[in-house]
Amino acid sequence: MPKIKFVHTADLHLDTPFKGLTRVDDRLADKLKDATFKAFENIVDTCLTEHVDFLIIAGDTFDSDESSLKAQFFFTGQLGRLHETGIPVYMICGNHDPLPSWSPFIKLPDNTTRFDDKSVSSVTYTKNGIALAEIYGISFGKKEIKENLSLRYNKNSTKIPFSIALLHGTSGKSDKHASYAPFTSRDLADKGFDYWALGHIHKWEILQKAGPAIAYPGNPQGRDFGETGFRGGLIVELETEKPPTIMFFNTSDLILDYLTINIEGIEDQESLLSKINGEIEKISNAYSNRSMILRLILSGRTAMHTMLKDLAMQAEMVDIANEQLTDTDPFCRIDRLQVQTMPIADINKLANANDFTGDLLRTIETYQQHPEMQNEMIDNALAGFKPSQMGRYLNNLTKEEKMKILEQAKWILINELNKD
Amino acid sequence: MIIKNIHIDGFGIYHDFSLPTHLEKGINILYGENEAGKSTLLQFLRYTLFGYPSARKSPKMDPLAGGKHGGRIVAETLSGDQVIFERHAATKQGQIQLHYNNKVYNDENMWFRLLGNANEKLFNNIYAFTLDELIDYGSLNDSGMQDRLFSIGMGLNTASIQEIENSIRNSMDQIYVERGRTKKVNELLEQIKTKQSHLTKLKDNKPLFNEISKEVVILEGQSEILETKINDTHLNLSKTTNLLKCYPHFVALQQIDNNLSILPAYEELPGQWKEDLTTAEERLRRYRENKNRLTVKTNHSRGKQESINPDFQILESKPKITEMRDNLKLYQEQIRNYQDLQTRHKLIGDEIEKLTKQLGTNVSVSEIDETNSEAIRAKITAFINQHKVIEDRNSASRVKLDAAYDKISFLNIKWISITAGLILLLGAAALYYYNFQIGAALIASAGVIMILTGPFMKSDKRLNILQQQVVQTEDELQKLDVQISSFIKNTFKTNLDFEPLTALKMTGAIDQIQEQVRQKKVLINQMEGLKKNIDSYEQNVDQLITKIDKEIPDNVKEVLVHTLLDLLQQEENHKLKKEDLQNQINEQIIDLENFGSQISSTEKEVANILARANVKTRDEFIKRYEQNKNVEGLLDEKKANTMAIEIIFGPGKSNAVASELKATDKLKLEAQSFNLDAGLQELKNEQKELLDRLGGIKKERDSLMNTSELARLATEIETLKENLKLARQDWLTNRIALDLLHSVKNKYEKEKQPEVIGKAKKHFSKITGGKYPDLRVPFGQQGVTITDRHEKRKALHTLSRGTKEQLLLSLRLGFIESYEKEAEPLPVVMDEVLVNFDEKRARKLSEILNDFGQNRQILIFTCHRHTADLFENNKLNLINL
């Protein structure tokens, strides 16, 4: 029975920055800058060790906004490794790397087919002189394509056993990405292809297991706390008259993730640190000892609640905890602490009192229950914060952020009023 | 709420402790001396009602006398319901149990409702306070005092609104201050700006990269063209160089052909022939050489053999000489013996002479030798015996004569003898007494004999007869002596008178001499025998010497014999050597004959070889071979040269190369090579320049592609942005906190403070006896102003400590009154707060407290008994601790 095996990846975003981190020193910066490269290297390694027939890259290899030459240079270098072993590569360009943004001076090796942006075209994959698969694709020619590109795909009437379509775009109702070649699974279902190799969405997902199989591989390296956990690519095996097998494999040597720790019953800093260490060890095991950057979320009812609500204290805790963690490879860093603990004594007890503190807490509660009042108060306060050029770097505050600010302000006051 | 009693299971010094009497509403004075545990009780109230302090902040008051850490407070609500607050320090916050309305509660909700929702800090600072806590020393200065007054007026504890404001503002200011330069936000913005411009520069590399890449393409094209040119020139040059290399071979080939043309054609001559000849000649040469060598050797042996001539005289005398040698030892011994005998002969002669002299007579040795000494001895002995007999008779006669003389002189001899006999008897008796019976008997017998013989001792009358007998014997003796003397004189022919005994001895000497003479005769016989043997040996030796006719200077016979032996040995050696040489010569003669026959057979062999090669002479044979070898060498050389050309130009190309070389000459080729080489160098230089340039810009391009800090920089910018966002959030949070604080404070000042201050004013005025009738907190200001009765404002610092304490107490009381309008009253607990009050003011205070205690409970801890005196007895519950 004819059979093929290939790796499907997309959204490499080579040489692009990490976002939303708060603690990046020189050592960490050095490690981060290579992370996207390393992830792609891992993909190529997998192609070689798995002896796949070919590699598919479904767009967004690099970010044209970042204008990284190194990204393209490194990319061609890695393709060269596959070329040496005779593994072909089929790729399309996505919204981040539209075809014109590729430098004409960096030549792709001969094993690589980069699809044109004019129309859907196809190439044939042959193995030992036998044509096994036909591969279809179209590249983005510009940053934004509102057209449903999937409609342009039509299968040739050949007797080649497998047909695979490469498509960069947004599926279904994902309105966040709406301006990037939106389509629905239904659009793809009736085209007669065996496998739709999608790109663009950074979370890996199999939209449909068979008839046809439709899948996003996700991006191979998470770069912010919206891209947590294992990231990787897909190993796909197609065999006639059998459902495809699609297997996810991890490619990120550096994992970003949240780590929620219930610290109920913990009452001093030492125990807290040891608890944190223990939990980090667990998650580290779960991630097979890969490097990690973590956001810790502390939860549970604890006597340390009031203390932990202090921002300076949080920063100090992170510093101390980081000092105890390894910063050799694989390393682990805590980026920040989010305190979602509860106090042991009910805060209502304070709010019920007929004293100044009680009045204060009741006032805050009023604001929390009235978003418009809260908005007004925060906007008034924000009028006093006007560093020059700030607007270029900071977005407006979200509703959640405003809630958080008020909550935090409450704890500042409680802490201050209860100082000894 | 009224506390009725407390029960302590274990707390500080207390164990299983209850108050001796119940507490009541109104004033309760708990009196106890120092160290009685008043402060511990106050702590117990605080901890039990509001919880044990969290880690390490305050002493936990562990039970020192045992018991479970904690206890309970039995109280009554205003409505008269009993409530029991029970708390043990099992965990940080303590384990609670609330008994109320026949129910047991384990959570804090009801607990705190019953406490009027007052919090721990409020209770500890407003309701229950010690002298130290009434006014803490840190706040005794003006602004501190102001804060304190204000805070208490607000119902706040130790916290100061002003300090909180300062603290929050400080946090904000560290993040951002309008127009402040060095604040966190500005620093972040500055860093972002710097990195952003760096990033922009990095992104500007792209056009540069494109430009460089274009140039690379152009230069690579030029480089390719140049490469082709270089290759062509290189080919030309290498062909010319190769032709030049082949030129000497070409010349050599021509020369070889010339040489071959005058030589006969190469023929196949068997190498065996030449080899046979060479080996045969070699053998012949060797045989001849051996023969010559042997001839010389043989002649030499012959000469040597002839020169050896052994002495036959000596050789013939070998048995004689051998005999001499064998007898030499005997001869030497005989000579030694002879000499010994000579010595002994002389010694005996001397002995004889000595003995003869000793004899002292004139008798000669030969006469002595003939004397019969035995007969002489017999005669003399007979004389001596006769003399002795006569002498004996003479002596006997003289004894008898002497006895006769003695009898005449001593007549009483009879009595002497009897007396002696008696003494002996006495002695015998004594011996007997001592048991010596035999001795006693003998002595007794002797004694008896003496006694008995004594009377018979009587004198002889024949004295004369005896005298005659003596004279007669003496005459006989005289006659005999004369006879002996004459005999001796005759015998020894001497005039001397020898005693007979002497003469006897002299006969012994004669015996000795005769013995010596006999021995001497024996010696002489022996010596004669030896002498005869010695002489015979020596004669033989002399004869031998004479016979062999050798001059031997020495006459010592031993030396002569040894010399003869040496000569004999020497001549025997000569004889052996001569015989050996003769044998050798005989063998060599046989060898010589052998060589001769080998030589002639080999000569025949050589002749056969030449005949086989069909040549007459050896020279002819050699010449034919040499010529053939010459031809062969030339052919090899030709082959080598052709090969050399073909190595350079390829197999089968030598003829083509030769014809090409015939068409040109060396000079032309050299000129061509020189020109091509120069051209090539020029092209190569050009190429190097081009490649250097290409390499340089490629490197530049690679570095643009390869060393991007883009992601790193962008990540850093993103991180800074995130931190900026957090800073804004942080600043805003603090700002909101500050705004909230202000707004509640304002509200408080407007709505609650006036009432508190109003009530406090009343108390303060009363305590001070109307000295300070007014107390205000101007709105929006954080401070209390005091006015005296002349409406003069009084600065706080001018107040005495006592007055300050009274002011703070007044404010507390004012707050409590105001606070309890909406909540359950709690007991007010004071620990020694009246110490600094003068009696007047203390009384005023007691009046106030009496009033104050109408609706609530007041507990006063004191160690001053007179404190109780301040209150009216009927309104007072005094408890001794």
Please, how many CA atoms are within 13 Å of residue B458, restricted to the half-sphere of its CB?
A: 4
CA geometry: angle at B870 spanning B869 and B872, to 5°?
80
A270-317 tens-digit pLDDT: 889 999 999 999 999 899 888 999 999 998 888 888 888 888 888 888
Give which of A61, A59, A51 is closest to A6, Cα–Cα.
A51
A17, B711: Cβ pair inside 8 Å? Answer: yes
Say if B79 falls within a structural domain. no
A405, B736: Cβ pair inside 8 Å? Answer: yes
A301 sits in the region (left: phi over 0; alpha: psi -120 to 50; else beta) called beta
8 A C-beta contact, residue B809 and residue B834: no
Give which of B829, B734, B776 is closest to B123, Cα–Cα.
B829
Q: Is B92's pLDDT higher than 60?
A: no
Give which of B791, B825, B756 is closest to B764, Cα–Cα.
B756
Report CA Rg, chain A.
26
- Classify strands B876-880 and B26-31 as parallel, antiparallel or unpaired: parallel
- Amino acid code (one letter) for B582: Q
| Residues linked to residue B729 through DSSP beta bridges, in sequence order | none
Give the least confident one: A37-41, A181-185, B113-117.
B113-117
What does residue B546 show for φ and ψ, rounded to 5 degrees? -60, -40
Min distance B765 CA to chain A CA atoms (Å)? 25
Say if B28 falls within a structural domain. no
Q: Is B461's pLDDT higher than 60?
A: no
- Per-residue pLDDT band for B85 (boundaries 50, 70, 90) equals very high
Hey, what are B366's tokens?
Answer: 């030969």
Min distance A298 CA to chain B CA atoms (Å)? 19
CATH 1.10.150.20 fits A3-250, yes or no: no
pLDDT, average across residues B478-506 = 80
Answer whether the bond into residue A104 is a cis peptide, omega within 30°: no
Min distance A400 CA to chain B CA atoms (Å)? 12
Q: Which residue of B has its CA nearest to A312?
A: B171
What's the rounded Cα separation, in Å, for the pair A60 and A94? 5
Indicate the average pLDDT of chain B: 83
Find the DSSP H helices in B454-499: 463-491
Which residue in the set A380, A386, A418 is minimally distant from B121, CB to CB? A418
A409, B734: Cβ pair inside 8 Å? Answer: yes
Report CA Rg, chain B.
89
What's the rounded Cα separation, in Å, for the pair B236 and B238? 5
B219-251 tens-digit pLDDT: 989 999 999 999 999 999 999 999 998 999 999
Give the least confident one: A203-212, B97-106, B361-370, B628-637.
B361-370
What's the rounded Cα separation, in Å, for the pair B680 and A295? 69
How high is the pLDDT of residue B707? Answer: 67
Give which of B124, B140, B157, B163 is closest to B782, Cα–Cα.
B163
Domain borders along chain A are 3-250, 255-417
Start-to-end Cα distance in chain B: 22
B378-419 tens-digit pLDDT: 888 888 888 888 888 888 888 888 877 776 555 566 677 778
Q: Which residues contact A318 (CB under 8 A, 6 or more apart)?
A: A23, A296, A334, A335, A336, A337
What's the rounded Cα separation, in Å, for the pair B482 and B498? 12
* Chain B positions in Cβ-Cβ contact with residue A23 (cut-off 8 Å): 719
How high is the pLDDT of residue B137? Answer: 47
8 A C-beta contact, residue A314 and residue A339: yes
Q: List, as one string, the DSSP characters of A299-364.
A: EEEETTHHHHT-HHHHHHHHHHHHHHS--SSS-EEEEEEEEEEEESS-HHHHHHSSSHHHHHHHHH
8 A C-beta contact, residue B705 and residue A73: yes
Last residue of a domain, one of B438, B458, B478: B458
Last residue of a domain, one of B698, B732, B747: B698
Q: CB neighbours (10 Å) of residue B807?
A: 26
Hey, what are B80's tokens?
Answer: 């008269």
Give which of A42, A39, A79 is closest to A220, Cα–Cα.
A39
A372-412 tens-digit pLDDT: 888 888 888 888 887 777 777 778 888 888 888 888 888 88
8 A C-beta contact, residue B63 and residue B12: yes
What does residue B869 show for φ and ψ, rounded to 5 degrees? -65, -20
Min distance B677 CA to chain A CA atoms (Å)? 38
* Chain B positions in Cβ-Cβ contact with residue A39 (cut-off 8 Å): none
Give which of B483, B475, B479 is closest to B393, Cα–Cα.
B475
Q: Is B188's pLDDT higher than 80?
A: yes
How high is the pLDDT of residue A255? Answer: 93
A69, B108: Cβ pair inside 8 Å? Answer: no
Min distance A418 CA to chain B CA atoms (Å)? 7
A356, B154: Cβ pair inside 8 Å? Answer: yes
A393, B192: Cβ pair inside 8 Å? Answer: yes
Hey, what are B126's tokens?
Answer: 């407003």
Say if B198 falls within a structural domain. no
Which residue did the predictor score with more confidence, B386 or B451?
B386
Min distance A411 CA to chain B CA atoms (Å)? 9
What's the rounded Cα separation, in Å, for the pair B499 and B485? 8
B825-864 tens-digit pLDDT: 889 998 887 777 888 888 888 888 888 888 889 999 888 8
Q: CB neighbours (10 Å) of residue B679?
A: 15
Give which of B268, B297, B320 is closest to B537, Cα–Cα.
B320
Indicate the average pLDDT of chain A: 88
Q: Is B157's pLDDT higher than 60?
A: no
- C-alpha distance from residue B400 to each of A47, B414, B418, B467, B470 (Å): 181, 20, 24, 9, 10
A393, B730: Cβ pair inside 8 Å? Answer: no
pLDDT, average across residues B647-658 = 89
* Chain B positions in Cβ-Cβ contact with residue A32 (cut-off 8 Å): 711-712, 715
pLDDT, average across residues B737-754 = 84
Say if B246 falls within a structural domain. yes
- Classify strands A130-137 and B82-88 as parallel, antiparallel or unpaired: unpaired
Q: Is A319's pLDDT higher than 60?
A: yes
B722, A267: Cβ pair inside 8 Å? Answer: no
Please, how many CA atoms are within 13 Å of residue A327, restricted to the half-sphere of its CB?
A: 16
Strand order in the sheet with B26-31: B128-130, B828-831, B857-862, B26-31, B876-880
Which residue did the predictor score with more confidence, B107 or A175?
B107
Task: Identify the helix (H) or strand (E) that includes residue B7.
Answer: strand B2-11
* Residues across chain A: 420
8 A C-beta contact, residue A212 and residue A166: no
8 A C-beta contact, residue B371 and residue B362: no
B27-63 tens-digit pLDDT: 899 888 888 888 888 889 988 988 887 655 567 788 8
A107-154 tens-digit pLDDT: 899 999 999 999 999 999 999 889 999 999 999 998 888 888 988 999
Interface test with A, best of B52, B152, B733 (most A CBs within 10 A): B733
Q: Is B363's pLDDT higher than 80?
A: no
* Chain B positions in Cβ-Cβ contact with residue A366 (cut-off 8 Å): none
Please, how many CA atoms are within 13 Å of residue B877, restricted to the half-sphere of its CB?
A: 18
pLDDT, average across residues B715-742 = 89
- Amino acid code (one letter) for B613: A
8 A C-beta contact, residue A102 and residue A79: no
* Chain A positions in Cβ-Cβ contact with residue B737 (cut-off 8 Å): 409-410, 412-413, 416
Number of domains in chain B: 2
How high is the pLDDT of residue B640? Answer: 92
- Domain boundaries, position B430: 412-458
8 A C-beta contact, residue B6 and residue B30: no
Hey, what are A17's tokens?
Answer: 């920055």
* Chain A positions in Cβ-Cβ contact with residue B733 (cut-off 8 Å): 311, 405, 408-409, 412
| Residues linked to residue A9 through DSSP beta bridges, in sequence order | A57
How high is the pLDDT of residue A199? Answer: 94
| Residues linked to residue B769 through DSSP beta bridges, in sequence order | none
How high is the pLDDT of residue B688? Answer: 92
What's the rounded Cα separation, in Å, for the pair A78 and A72? 10
Last residue of a domain, one of B427, B458, B489: B458
- C-alpha distance from residue B95 to each of B68, B70, B89 (Å): 12, 9, 6
pLDDT, average across residues B266-283 = 84
- Classify strands A3-9 and A232-239 as parallel, antiparallel or unpaired: antiparallel
Q: What are the start-end ranges of the E strands in B784-827?
A: 785-787, 793-794
- Amino acid code (one letter) for A200: H
What share of chain B in percent tops pLDDT 90? 13
Q: Give buried/exposed letters for A216-246 (b at 16+ CB in 10 A, else e).
A: bbbbbbbbebebbbbbbbbbbbbeeeeebeb
Which residue did the predictor score with more confidence, A250 or B435?
A250
Please, how many CA atoms are within 13 Å of residue B713, restricted to the half-sphere of its CB?
A: 19
Give which of A85, A76, A89 is closest to A125, Cα–Cα.
A89
For residue B276, the SS3 value is helix
Q: What distance separates the 2 farthest-apart alpha carbons in chain B?
A: 214
A67, B732: Cβ pair inside 8 Å? Answer: no
* Chain A positions in Cβ-Cβ contact with residue B707 (cut-off 8 Å): 70
A381, B93: Cβ pair inside 8 Å? Answer: no
B705, A18: Cβ pair inside 8 Å? Answer: no
How high is the pLDDT of residue A67? Answer: 67
ipTM of this predicted structure: 0.86
What's the rounded Cα separation, in Å, for the pair A262 and A279? 10
Hey, what are A348's tokens?
Answer: 């209502």
Strand order in the sheet with B785-787: B774-776, B785-787, B793-794
